[in-house]
Structure 1
Amino acid sequence: MIQKIKKCFFVFLLLQASLTSYAQSVDELSDEDIQKFMQQAQESGMNEEQLAAAAAAKGFTASDIVKFKERIEKLKSSKKAVGIKSSLNQRTVDSTDIQASERDNKKQVIDEKAEDRRMKIFGLNIFNNQTLNFEPNLNIATPKNYVLGTNDELSIDITGYAYAHYDAKVNPDGNIKIENLNPIFVAGQTLEQAKVKIVQRLKTLFGGLGNGGLSADVTLSKIRSIKVTVIGEAVFPGTYTVPSLATAFNVLYAAGGPTDIGSLRNIEIFRKGKKVRMLDLYDFLLRGDLTDDIGLIDQDVVLIPYVDKRVIINGAVRNPKIYELKAGDNLGSLIGFAGGFGETAYSKSIRINRVTDTEMKILKVSKEEISKFGLLKGDIVIVDSLLNRYENRVSIKGAVFRPGDYELETGMTLKKLVAQAEGLKPEAFKSRALLFRERPNADPEILPLNLSELLNDTAEDIVLQKNDSLVIKTIAGTRELRTIQLDGEINKPSVIPYVENITVSDAILLAGGLKDGANVARIEVARRVKADGGDGDQNVQIIQIQVDPSLGILDKDKRTLLKPFDRVYVRKMSRYEVQRTVSITGEINYPGPYTLNDKKERISDLIEKAGGTKGQADLGSAKFTRNGVQMGIDLKKAFFDKNSNQNLLLNPGDVLEIPRRKETVTVLGQVYNPITVPFDQGLNLKDYISLAGGTTDSAYVKKIYVKYGNGKISRTKYFAGINSFPKIENGAEIYVPLHKKQRWTSAERIAVSSAVVSIATVLLTLVLRVVP
């Protein structure tokens, strides 16, 4: 008892702190805040009055406390308060109260396995669907059979030559009060009964009421709340406060529906200790029938008992699941629950796995017994699918106009099958067709046949059997793909399909025709030699052919027919050339591109064609480029000595660039003052380096080189301690490279020193041995 008082006091302080921290008025509190307070109060055993006292102690006004109570009632009657009971001192129901195992009946939290099982049980998924709404509709007209009770509010209007309006609430005694009239008892009466009673009493105030001058209208303006208890195998069992218009379905949905071991078909409604209705949810789930959805009154009890009989149906039905059966249900009923057989169901017989007292056994139910066969708890019904076999099928494939499967008629022959397929195509290979047939042991075999003889009635027709399959190949499908290859002076060298009676001109036309330089008198056809053995070594036959340049039709061309796999090569005219051009730019009289007259033209000829050089031309610095690469050509020697090896033959695309005379020399690299100075024929390399301030300490004098304007490079030569430096010409560039001296590491110096000491020691030892 002391512990309970301490706990209440602790929660009292907690609620005070919570109210202070969250808001200073009830309007500022969210539904989640109030529900949290209610749950805390439930855990401590506090009732609504104690909770209100806690709020008053923190300075909340009386109107706030009234609003607080109204918010509590609203939450309890709404969907948000699922699991919240009408009395705060009742037990809170949470997920730890849900039974998830049918075998051990232990209380466990719903886990993924339990949810998976619920999804397999027909009907339970409807209670998990958030898009469905089973809340009662409070906006409909009041039903005539609605029974009034405490807290119902009536709206009474007097109309006619006088007007009056009264709001009357049914008090706990079952009475309503109107002005000075005595209390009118209406509890337990329907709205129609109460209206008659109220109008009769109002006549004492309004004399003409009911005589045509005045009329009275009595309506229900606000319905009361009732308390309904859900017990048994509900997901959230408990007491629920719901509107008085709520039905059994409304409460079941609020309670989460049955658990995975609860019944969907035997839900009982108790009223004042007596069972008033038995609900079968299958009526609604399968047919949409809500006839048994009874309206509830205060203190009704909804009982969800354990499920009695469940069976499983798998296989070729439209909705394989776990179904609950009642007395009178049989195998036919189960198949109906599952939506009937699927399109490929094998309905001739159905297999059933049944549990006995000692082991399992299999039952076979014929089609005729389905509607009479009774099922037992735990039966597993298996509806097989049809085998991928046909009892009267033959087929024809390949070169027929309508290949496919056909019905095997009595006495049907192969010739009739071809006729049903609308005959053979022209390309059909008639010499051999293949008939695939199953032997009695299901091994396949092939029966070859000659279609020509069969269709001409020179061979005996074949009677077909079940699953026979006739395969007819095309002529093209029985040989290598026949082609003709064309190369050489043809617009589109390619490989084309071979066709009968094709000539060389035909093939060239299909390949886009001849190029301008084609030699129609030098056409070769390479043909395979189809022979085996013999003494000859020839594998390919070469045939020389001439055609009309315009590809016109000649008599001899008609007779020159190609054969499969021929290769046609069209040669080019020996003296035919496309225009070839070279280019010359710079200090030349007529720069630009020039076409080569023949293959003998050289560099000097190109300069003469371009009108010779201008006065400021520097032939020594001319650049000659071939295929994008500069070549080191001495153009002076090429121009003045036409027999020189520098006077190269020209190739298409060659470019000759003759620059203007620079009259300068440039010194670069490891000098103190890299510089460009005027060219002086009387100065040598050393003189120019001196003009640049001389070489630095890091200069590699032995490697000095000179680059000339034509791209050639001349380097310093060293022999017997004497340097021979290159000659300097107009426009030259002198490069003094860096001398990268290799420095030894400490380890290398130590290794060399050790080696020197070792060698000296050996030599000294030898000398001492020789000297007496």
Structure 2
Amino acid sequence: MNKITQQIKSSSVLLISIICLLIGQTAQAQFTLSTQKRNVDDLSDAEVSMFMEKAQASGMSESEIEKAALTQGYTAADIAKMRERVANMQLIPATVDPFQKNNALDKGNLQQDIRSNKPTYYSPRVNTPVLQESIFNIEERKLLAKPLNIYNDSLVTEYNKLQERASNSLNKKIFGASLFQNDKLTFEPDMRIATPKNYQLGPDDELNIHIFGDVLDNFKVTVSPEGTVKILNLSPIYVNGLSMDAASERIISRLRQLYQGLNKPGSGSSAQVTLAGVRSIKVTLTGEVNSPGSYTVSSLATVFNALYLAGGPNRNGSFRNIRVIRGNKVVRTLDLYDFLLRADQKDNIHLNDQDIIRVGDYENRVELMGEVKRPYIYELVKGESFKDLLRYSGGFTEKAYTYTINVRRNTSREIKLLNISQEEVETFLPNNGDVYTVGTIIERYENRVEIQGAVFRPGNYAIEPGLNTVKELIKKSEGLREDAFLNRATLTRRKENYDPEVLSIDLGKILRGEAADISLQREDVLQVYSINNLREKRFVNIVGEVNAPGEFEFKEGMKVGDLILLAKGLKESASYANLELARRIITHGTADPKAAKIEIISFAIDGSHKIANEGNQITLQPFDIISIRRAPNYEEQRSVKILGMVNFPGSYAIENNQQRISDLIKRAGGLRVEGYLEGGKLIRGTTTVGVNLKEILNNPSSQENLQLMAGDELTIPRLLQTIKLTGAVQNPLAVSYKEDFTLKEYIAEAGGYTVNANKKKMYVTYANGVSNQIRKFFIFKKNPRIEPGSEIVIPAFPENRKKGLSAAEAIGLTSSLVSVSIAIITLINNIPK
């Protein structure tokens, strides 16, 4: 909610009128409520402006408007929302606070008509808390020195940001302040609960009187300003100040004048009195609250409801000394810490009309920072100690340094620093303005040592009785692993200046008692090395015809047969003879550079993996590589396909490497009658192989009869009866095959050549994929033959092809020829005669 408009008292009637007009209309200066409640969020800015004008013209008093709104079910939250809507639309001029009349900042025409377009000055200090920090006072004064046009809200926005900065800076650390700044909390009284037993009736309360049994009747009455209710011809019944039980008993007693025996045993008729509607009351909030003033609330409202409407205690307000004054007497003193810390609402009493809630000034406020669960500014009452302050903050965090706690205390002249020891926590009494800082423990161990490497339980250990030496640390870690390297270990420790140093120790001698044990110091790290980590990773490799070739970890005693089993056995294609083992020749020191670096061992196995077999029992060494080759006569099944016009199309296995195309056609049952041999194609991979099937079948020994390869696909189509023309013809199409047609006649059926046709490059592609072009011999030209299924292709010249020489090129060529001619004539003339 905008803090400026929220605190302008002179606008309260207007704003409440706007809220009420959300549920009503004006007609002839009469205010009539509508039957349907409107939602504030659903209203447009135009509707809000219209309601403002109607509210001013309604002529109703403030109390009448409030009563109408409450009757229709509108709450204090609705009024608050409407105030915010109005504040967002425009800035309402304020009436100067009497206490600030002489303030130079408040001078200006503050009573300017809100609809005028004249510049005006606005004082945000009216009814607002005084800022404590000088930087905000300075910025505020600079801002107030500028004229403010109420139709240009840039300065309003600027001031709002300044107010927000100040509020956040001053209030965000006060424990409990956020309770009254949370938009998700409303503290609205629940209107659907049963009437409290201690609720006292008053003017404007509505009662339902329901009579049932032998007699049926119902009355709805309202408590008059005189405190009475009127039923039929009975005299007024006084109920003001009575509880519901007492009022119900008094009303039923009077009703017995009309209905004999009412609510008595055996009478057959009963009556019940319930509360139908509650009245509105006025309470005043004064003292150190964010928005002091009078508020109209439900008669079921409590102290919390009123405090929330007023924004709670301000910067100087006390959270622990809130007094409810009724009839000039303090009837209850509220401590908000009871609710904040324990959810205790014992002092959250229901309010009565004309109650006054006064928030006093705080007396003792301290700040707690650092490693506590709730670092805030807390208010302490007389007699509370630092232990109580810790309880309010939720106690220390897990990283809190509790040995001493720093205190910054204000004296009459300067600042003084104090330290609270652990023994003083319960007795130390805080002073107003104290700042307590709880530090963080140091990330450092006072008795830690660490052991790493080849032990069964590496990790951190504490130096303590029974664990003070290297030997005792190894014992505590449950001893060395079998792969521990005993000849050398390293002990890393910190020198006095915290520089690291390394001590090399013979671990084997210490454990055997041949060398003195070494005492441990704080932060020592003992590293025990593993033999496996001190040498290259050892493996053996197997490649070739095994099911899972690859690299395997070397183990002492591993044999060739063991490695074959690790590789999941031999493939069927594996050769049992001529296996090869490649072994490194390792020499430490100087060696002949011409000497062999690798030893090659050839051997054979029987394939049964028997231990008795000599080849399987060859012992392996680290980094050996076993190669198992493919058997020379091993052949996997290969297949070809024949499709189309044969009697048995499908896939056929290649029996041997000598099988040819004619053999495949024969195995497929030969050609069918409609088969077109000239159109047969052989597809090998992604390539079309042109074959002459007629030549192959007539002469199987012909070179056309190719040997078959795995994956070949032979296709023999049905007799084709069309000729296709593509390329640079007027109408590319397919025409029927005519045995006596020439090439020229076929082209004529396609409309002839196009302008850019390259007639010399024309060619014919036959159904089997083979192409033929025009052949010339001197002046003679032979066109290719046309067969069924052929495609006549006429290429086209490029579109950017030059058709002749340009003028410049012709002139240049002529000049060159003239120059050459002159040179030849000159040469001839100079020949000696």
The two structures share one fold, judged by TM-score above 0.5: yes
Contact 1:704 1:734 in 2 (8 A): no
The alpha-carbon distance between structure 1 residues 617 and 281, as it changes in their structure 2 partners (threshold 3 A), is closer
> RMSD of the alignment, in Å?
5.7
Partner of residue 48, structure 1:
60
Partner of residue 130, structure 1:
184
CA distance in 2, matches of 1:661, 1:194: 115
2:491 maps to 1:435: yes
CA distance in 1, matches of 2:355, 2:394: 35
The Cα offsets for residues 14-59 of structure 1, whole Å up to 9 and x where unpaired, read as 98996369x996233535689979984898597635998xxxxxxx
SS at match of 1:477: helix
The alpha-carbon distance between structure 1 residues 185 and 714, as it changes in their structure 2 partners (threshold 3 A), is closer
Contact 2:367 2:376 in 1 (8 A): yes
Contact 2:765 2:790 in 1 (8 A): yes
Structure 1 residue 504 displacement after superposition? 1.0
Q: Which amino acid aligns with 1:737?
A: I
Contact 2:723 2:792 in 1 (8 A): no
Structure 1 residue 733 displacement after superposition? 2.6
The Cα offsets for residues 621-654 of structure 1, whole Å up to 9 and x where unpaired, read as 5423322311234556666677765454433233
SS at match of 1:344: coil
SS at match of 1:265: strand
The alpha-carbon distance between structure 1 residues 453 and 761, as it changes in their structure 2 partners (threshold 3 A), is same
2:372 maps to 1:317: yes
Partner of residue 563, structure 1:
621
Partner of residue 528, structure 1:
584
Contact 1:491 1:512 in 2 (8 A): yes
* Segment drifting more, 490-499 vs 220-229: 220-229
The alpha-carbon distance between structure 1 residues 349 and 639, as it changes in their structure 2 partners (threshold 3 A), is same
Partner of residue 55, structure 1:
none
CA distance in 2, matches of 1:693, 1:154: 106
- Selected match of 1:387 from 438, 442, 447: 442
2:604 maps to 1:546: yes
CA distance in 2, matches of 1:399, 1:425: 5
Partner of residue 267, structure 1:
322
Contact 1:716 1:726 in 2 (8 A): yes
Structure 1 residue 338 displacement after superposition? 0.2
> Superposition pairs for residues 358-373 of structure 1, below 5 Å?
362-373=417-428
Contact 1:548 1:554 in 2 (8 A): no
Query: TM-score normalised to the size of structure 1?
Result: 0.77
Partner of residue 231, structure 1:
286
- Selected match of 1:454 from 490, 505, 510: 510
CA distance in 2, matches of 1:651, 1:245: 100
Contact 2:207 2:274 in 1 (8 A): yes
* Segment drifting more, 629-638 vs 571-580: 629-638
Q: Which amino acid aligns with 2:614?
A: K
2:547 maps to 1:494: no
* Segment drifting more, 226-235 vs 579-588: 579-588
Structure 1 residue 557 displacement after superposition? 4.6
Contact 2:174 2:377 in 1 (8 A): yes
CA distance in 1, matches of 2:27, 2:248: 49
Partner of residue 78, structure 2:
80
Q: Which amino acid aligns with 1:241?
A: T
CA distance in 2, matches of 1:193, 1:249: 28
Structure 1 residue 322 displacement after superposition? 2.5
The Cα offsets for residues 233-286 of structure 1, whole Å up to 9 and x where unpaired, read as 434432123344543233213333223443212223334455554322112222
SS at match of 2:496: coil
Contact 2:561 2:617 in 1 (8 A): no
Structure 1 residue 306 displacement after superposition? 4.6
- Selected match of 1:737 from 794, 798, 821: 794
Contact 1:84 1:92 in 2 (8 A): no
The alpha-carbon distance between structure 1 residues 373 and 702, as it changes in their structure 2 partners (threshold 3 A), is same
Contact 1:581 1:653 in 2 (8 A): yes
2:650 maps to 1:652: no
> Superposition pairs for residues 395-474 of structure 1, below 5 Å?
395-410=450-465, 412=467, 413-474=469-530
The alpha-carbon distance between structure 1 residues 631 and 41, as it changes in their structure 2 partners (threshold 3 A), is closer
Contact 1:428 1:472 in 2 (8 A): yes
> Superposition pairs for residues 17-36 of structure 1, below 5 Å?
19=26, 26-28=33-35, 30=37
> Superposition pairs for residues 169-188 of structure 1, below 5 Å?
none
CA distance in 1, matches of 2:260, 2:708: 136
CA distance in 2, matches of 1:195, 1:597: 114
Contact 1:168 1:176 in 2 (8 A): yes
> Superposition pairs for residues 551-700 of structure 1, below 5 Å?
551-554=609-612, 556-557=614-615, 559-584=617-642, 593-603=651-661, 621-634=679-692, 646-658=704-716, 675-679=735-739, 699-700=757-758
> Superposition pairs for residues 345-364 of structure 1, below 5 Å?
345-354=400-409, 362-364=417-419
CA distance in 2, matches of 1:26, 1:614: 101
Query: Unmatched 5+ residue regions in structure 1?
Result: 53-66
> Superposition pairs for residues 81-160 of structure 1, below 5 Å?
81=79, 98-99=128-129, 101-103=131-133, 109=160, 113=165, 116=168, 118-127=171-180, 128=182, 130-131=184-185, 133=187, 135=189, 139-140=193-194, 143=197
The alpha-carbon distance between structure 1 residues 227 and 502, as it changes in their structure 2 partners (threshold 3 A), is same
Partner of residue 103, structure 2:
none
Structure 1 residue 442 displacement after superposition? 1.9
* Segment drifting more, 24-33 vs 576-585: 24-33
Structure 1 residue 617 displacement after superposition? 6.7
CA distance in 2, matches of 1:620, 1:138: 99
- Selected match of 1:289 from 322, 344, 356: 344
Partner of residue 313, structure 2:
258
Partner of residue 515, structure 1:
571
CA distance in 1, matches of 2:730, 2:257: 134
Structure 1 residue 334 displacement after superposition? 1.8
Contact 2:323 2:330 in 1 (8 A): yes
The Cα offsets for residues 491-527 of structure 1, whole Å up to 9 and x where unpaired, read as 2222222222111111111111111121122111111
CA distance in 1, matches of 2:750, 2:209: 123
Partner of residue 115, structure 2:
none
The Cα offsets for residues 290-337 of structure 1, whole Å up to 9 and x where unpaired, read as 343345433222122454543332222122223223333443322111
Partner of residue 64, structure 1:
none
CA distance in 1, matches of 2:542, 2:413: 84
SS at match of 1:28: coil
The alpha-carbon distance between structure 1 residues 84 and 638, as it changes in their structure 2 partners (threshold 3 A), is closer
SS at match of 1:579: coil
CA distance in 1, matches of 2:420, 2:477: 42
Q: Which amino acid aligns with 1:518?
A: A
The Cα offsets for residues 475-495 of structure 1, whole Å up to 9 and x where unpaired, read as 333332222221111122222
Contact 1:100 1:109 in 2 (8 A): no
SS at match of 2:313: coil
Structure 1 residue 392 displacement after superposition? 2.0
The alpha-carbon distance between structure 1 residues 196 and 486, as it changes in their structure 2 partners (threshold 3 A), is closer
Partner of residue 343, structure 1:
398
CA distance in 2, matches of 1:593, 1:382: 90
2:772 maps to 1:714: yes
Aligned length: 740
Q: Which amino acid aligns with 1:454?
A: I
Q: Which amino acid aligns with 1:254?
A: L
CA distance in 2, matches of 1:257, 1:238: 12
Q: Which amino acid aligns with 2:438?
A: V
SS at match of 2:419: strand
2:304 maps to 1:249: yes
CA distance in 2, matches of 1:759, 1:245: 118
Structure 1 residue 669 displacement after superposition? 5.4
The Cα offsets for residues 89-143 of structure 1, whole Å up to 9 and x where unpaired, read as x989999955484436779648654675555432123232635645277855655
The alpha-carbon distance between structure 1 residues 191 and 494, as it changes in their structure 2 partners (threshold 3 A), is closer
Query: Unmatched 5+ residue regions in structure 2?
Result: 1-9, 84-93, 98-123, 145-158, 828-833
The alpha-carbon distance between structure 1 residues 668 and 223, as it changes in their structure 2 partners (threshold 3 A), is closer
* Segment drifting more, 555-564 vs 353-362: 353-362
CA distance in 2, matches of 1:15, 1:243: 19
